[in-house]
Structure 1
């Protein structure tokens, strides 16, 4: 498949939990990730944290632009008080707890 994402697990998290219906899972990032963690196993949490590291490394020169292109339709971290980098760091931290 030519359009296969290099970040399928991160896609799953963002597309599935940070979409227009995010409030079904919580009112803030912590609540949403808590719900995600309850519904998914630790292996997936670990895969996503690795993909976050790779995402940040692969796009360090254009992180904001690439995140907006890839996930901007689903989530805007700014209203929650995050930059793109701090949002990804927060996801990683919460998934690792």
Structure 2
């Protein structure tokens, strides 16, 4: 039986893995804020994955603001609602990107 991949896994594999691995239904085991969850990811992950993840975020953001909320849901099928953390999905992803970039610079 072939493995079925989501559009997000095909186009943005690092971001898809991050969303599934860190912002799942039990995300709060890592903290109850976006910053705490991303910090846990930075602390527990190999630093070499941070740059490709940031690049995936940048590429997804470059797809444009129109329809982003729906596209994010379609591509990643997240267990969380990004607007529960920030007013828009763009702001959610920009906040994650900022935290990751900060963690990547500390990891060097």
State if a TM-score over 0.5 links the two structures: yes
3-state SS, counterpart of residue 90 of structure 2: helix
Select the residue among 20, 23, 31 that pairs with 1:18: 23
2:50 pairs with one of 40, 45, 51: 45
Worse-superposed segment, 73-82 or 7-16: 73-82
Is 1:64 aligned to residue 69 of structure 2?
Answer: yes
- 2:79 corresponding residue in structure 1: 74
Counterpart of 2:100 in structure 1 is 95
Matches of 1:24 and 1:14 in 2, distance apart?
15
User: How many residue pairs end up in the alignment?
Assistant: 97
Unaligned runs of 5+ in 2: 103-108
Partner of 1:58: helix, strand, or coil? coil
Other-structure match for 1:34: 39
The structure number with the bigger radius of gyration is 2
Determine the structure 2 residue equivalent to 1:8: 13
Deviation at 1:25, TM superposition (A): 1.0
For structure 1, list consecutive stretches of 5 or more residues without a partner in the other structure. none
1:38-67: CA deviation from partner (whole Å, max 9, x where unpaired)? 111222111111001111113543211101
